[in-house]
Structure 1
Amino acid sequence: MPAYVWLACGLYLMNGMATVVFGAVMPIALHSLHRSYVFGSDLVFLQFVGYWIGVPLSAWIVRRLGYRTAIWVSSLSTGLAQAGLALWLRPGPYLACSLVSGAGMALMQATVSTSLIEWFPSRRAVIMSRTEAAFGLGCVLSPLGASVCIAHGAWRASFAFVAAAALALALVSAFTPMQATDHPGGPKDAHTDAIHLTGRRDGALVFALFMVCILVYVGVESCVNNFLPAVFVQHFGVSATAASVTVSTFWAAMVVGRMATGWIARVLPYRPYLLLASLGTLATLVAMVVTRSHAVGYVECFLLGIFMSGMYVVTLVFANHAFPTLTGLVTRWVTFFAGLGGATLPYAFGWVMAKTGSQAADVCLALFAALLFAVVAFTGVVTKRKSPSRPGVRAAG
């Protein structure tokens, strides 16, 4: 595997740690800040407002200064923001650091994902599944570390570990070769029929559907990342230490699923994969609404991670497959709408949880999953109609 892919995996691992670290300590952090879950929603919202800053910043820095500078700036800003969360336990600095951290994470994701999709055109899903698996591993390690820190009365140290990882990667990125190295003999993605767009309106419809898919998916994932421990505390009455493990359970399954995605992408086309994954997500979250046993809840967390594991990367790659000449633009818009979903749906979820309790919040999350399934299914119908199989070629998707 090229050195740059290894660096990309390290950066995604760090981003995974930064994405879930606040959710893992949210119950105890809000108690220490004397704030409600509405303030938690504000923090999540600002983190994803940072995405709207980081995405256009990526295009500007890459165009003028190159990929290396963009990656260095993203790692440095994320590291400094996480260090701020560890040092200052006050609402104002927390809001500011959440915004800066979100901008840094978006800058990294937009930069790295664009470069990988441009440099590895024949195996985008295979390569991206590796970075997404690394992201998932970071999401496993961060809550586990947070659980240990909480148990020792030093929960703010969770942010310090993320800061150290980000600053170390900023240093490593200065010495890593950055160039296209797509070897023709490597594993390839499964064939998916080309999508034939006949006009601007046609293209706008398909583009909009992909963006809505990303928005809703990332919104659901962000709700799980940031509020699942709080749901377990309120719904099952478990301790904050035990609740923080739910995110690790979810992301352990995400890692397993994303490692499998690289293989699945070689044999299963994008369209049926997304339909099956979204249906499984919906079924699991509906089951979670009626569950009363926390042991069963942990099993459902694992199943949820399995079903959701490959949806982001496959949607990203499918969108680029639909618009093969607009790789950089599509990838950055995907990252932008990921930020939009990560800001709006968790904000609504936190408000529902603060006002009505965990039961109504569980129903709200299941409704989000129903919306995700509906959008994915409609996108599948539209793209299938615009993908007539060529004579003699098996219909792949």
Structure 2
Amino acid sequence: MRKLIWMGCLSYLVIGMAHVVAGAILEPLIASYGLDYRSGGQFIMNQFLGFLGGVLITPWLSGRIGRRNTLLLALGSLTLAEGLYSLFLPWGWMLTIAPVAGFGFGMTEAIIGVMIIEYVEEKKASAMTFIETFFGVGALVMPIIAAFLIKNSSWELSFPIVAVMSAVTMLLWLTMSFGRVDELMVRKPQLKKEERPVRVRYPVGSMPILVLGTLFFMIYVGMEMSFSNYLPSIMIERLGLKEAEAASTISMFWGLMVVGRLFAGRVAEWSGYGRFLVATTGAGTLCLIALTLVGQASLSLFIIGLSGLVWAGVFAIGLVYMNHLLIGHTERTTSLLVAFGGLGGALFPKLTGWLMDRYNANWTLAMLAAMTVVMLIIMIVLAILERGRKKSALIMHDKSCG
């Protein structure tokens, strides 16, 4: 099981790099093609439309070819796309390739998440946040590499680096053995129609929780991707930083996020998932509101780092929390949540690019802060619904005992 977790960590490291590489080199990329932020937003949006497709098809595909083969297909798609990016083809082709990259890292994220939640028997929150830590490491390391490459006028090497990392990870998944988990990851023979188990639907009473959860993930991923991809551009416009300096602000954000993820799982298991998510979402909201109000570089960098710290465990703990509220639907729930996250990651960066072109960075930050306020309201409502369900279950238990 430990080997599986470490391979999950490596896979999340790669998709963390893939998530932010476009944002880290967005300024020189759009400059080299003579484009505006809106076009850059379209590129990011196309990636996340592919992400959405990859996540949605994961349950169906893994049921037919097995989870290992699905993962190999995902990493192969990512490797191919990043390799084609490296050729810097005409912009129309880059936009066409972008969904293939998104398909790859979306499917990888979904299948690894399902495997960890389903196969790890104890301390699921700690296991998920540990793996999410490596997503943060990838998202931290890539901007540092990009800043170094930009400074040395070699930013074009960013895409080949991700391609090589993805290829190595794919080869490891292809050749390694994971003991008893190998049997769980292979393709299962298709049953005849009359032998198939009846598909269990979500209870009617669970639908409000599912709707709120998917909305929360859509807004969260949209906010995080908009923030991390446009943060350098926002800092250049608001504070006058140079391109290489601005690219390193993403590293500040992801660096503190990595630190936070080392402890988030334990804190969430100690405090309770609902309480943890309400507290961290509230703190993250305050950070973004504060960032819209300050204009000093040092204070802005402090708030950016603090934001990374408080948002650290939201995605992983959110997945575990929603599966805790919707027991018995792990694969479907996880895929839906990650898919709606991908939808947010596709739509909101496009809107962010439009705001950056039409208005300014202050309007962009105000929109991101407003998104976090909505997230906080959703999480408070979910916590109230959970408490109501617990009270109802306790009353039913008392009646049955009486």
* TM-score of the pair, normalised by structure 1: 0.91
Q: Give the corresponding residue for 1:139.
A: 139
Q: 1:316 touches 1:334 (CA, 8 Å); kept in 2? A: yes
Contact (CA 8 Å) 2:11, 2:108: kept in 1 or not? yes
Matched, 1:214 2:217: yes
In 1, the alpha carbon distance for the partners of 2:52 and 2:20 equals 19
Q: Which has the higher helix share?
A: 2
Deviation per CA, 1:88-142: give whole Å up to 9, x if none. 2531122122211100011101111111111124321111111100000000100
1:214·1:338 contact (CA, 8 Å) conserved in 2? yes
Helix, strand or coil at the partner of 1:156: helix
Q: Which of 325, 330, 334 is 1:331 aligned to?
A: 334
Measure the CA separation in 1 of the matches of 2:321 and 2:309. Answer: 20
Please state if 1:101 is matched with 2:97: no
Residues 118, 180 of structure 1: alpha-carbon distance in 2 compared, 3 angstrom cutoff: farther
Aligned pairs for 1:70-81 (under 5 A) are 70-81=70-81
Counterpart for residue 286 of structure 2: 283
Contact residue 257 and residue 309 of structure 1 kept, 8 A: yes
**Does 2:180 match 1:177?**
no
Tell me the equivalent position of 1:227: 230
| Structure 1 unmatched runs, 5+ | 182-198
- Amino acid across the alignment from 2:274: R
- Which residue identity does 2:161 align to in structure 1? F
| 2: CA distance, partners of 1:180 / 1:111 | 18
Q: Does 1:313 align with 2:316?
A: yes
**Does the CA-based 8 Å contact 1:3-1:176 persist in structure 2?**
no
Letter in 1 for 2:357: A
Shift of 1:318: 0.8
Give the C-alpha shift of residue 72 in structure 1: 1.1
Give the aligned partner of residue 49 of structure 2. Answer: 49
Contact 1:85 1:156 in 2 (8 A): no
- Larger CA deviation: 222-231 vs 87-96: 87-96
Q: Contact (CA 8 Å) 2:58, 2:107: kept in 1 or not?
A: yes
**How well do the aligned residues superpose, as a CA RMSD in angstroms?**
1.6
Amino acid at match of 1:32: S
Post-superposition offset of 1:200: 3.6
CA distance in 1, matches of 2:374, 2:330: 27
The 5 Å alignment of 1:4-43 reads 4-43=4-43
Alignment match, 1:344? 347
* Structure 2 match to 1:156: 156
Counterpart pick for 2:256 among 253, 257, 262: 253
2:199 corresponds to which residue? none
1:385: how far off? 1.2
Confirm or deny: 8 A CA contact 1:68 1:178 kept in the other structure: no
1:376-391, aligned counterparts within 5 Å? 376-388=379-391, 390=394
Q: 1:155 to 1:59 in 2, by over 3 A?
A: same
| Normalised TM-score (structure 2) | 0.90
2:377 aligned residue: 374
Give the Cα separation in 2 of the matches to 1:293 and 1:109. 36
Could you report, residue by residue, the CA deviation over 1:139-161 in whole angstroms, capped at 9, with x for unpaired residues? 01000000011011111101111
Is the alpha carbon distance of 1:180 and 1:278 closer, same or farther for their aligned partners in structure 2, counting shifts above 3 Å? farther
- The answer (yes or no) to whether the contact 1:4–1:176 under 8 Å persists in 2 is no
Count of residue correspondences: 375
Q: Which residue of the partner structure matches residue 86 of structure 1? A: 86
CA shift in 2, pair 1:254/1:179, >3 Å? farther
Largest Rg, 1 or 2: 2
Q: Is the 8 A contact 1:277 1:308 kept in 2?
A: yes
1:230-288 per-residue CA deviation (whole Å, 9 max, x = no partner) reads: 10011111011000011111000110011111221331100110101111111001111
Q: 1:336 offset after TM fit, Å?
A: 0.7
* Separation in structure 2 between the aligned mates of residue 121 and residue 324 of structure 1, nearest angstrom: 14
CA spacing shift, 1:56–1:367, aligned 2, 3 Å? closer
SS at match of 1:276: helix
In percent, how many aligned pairs have the same letter? 26
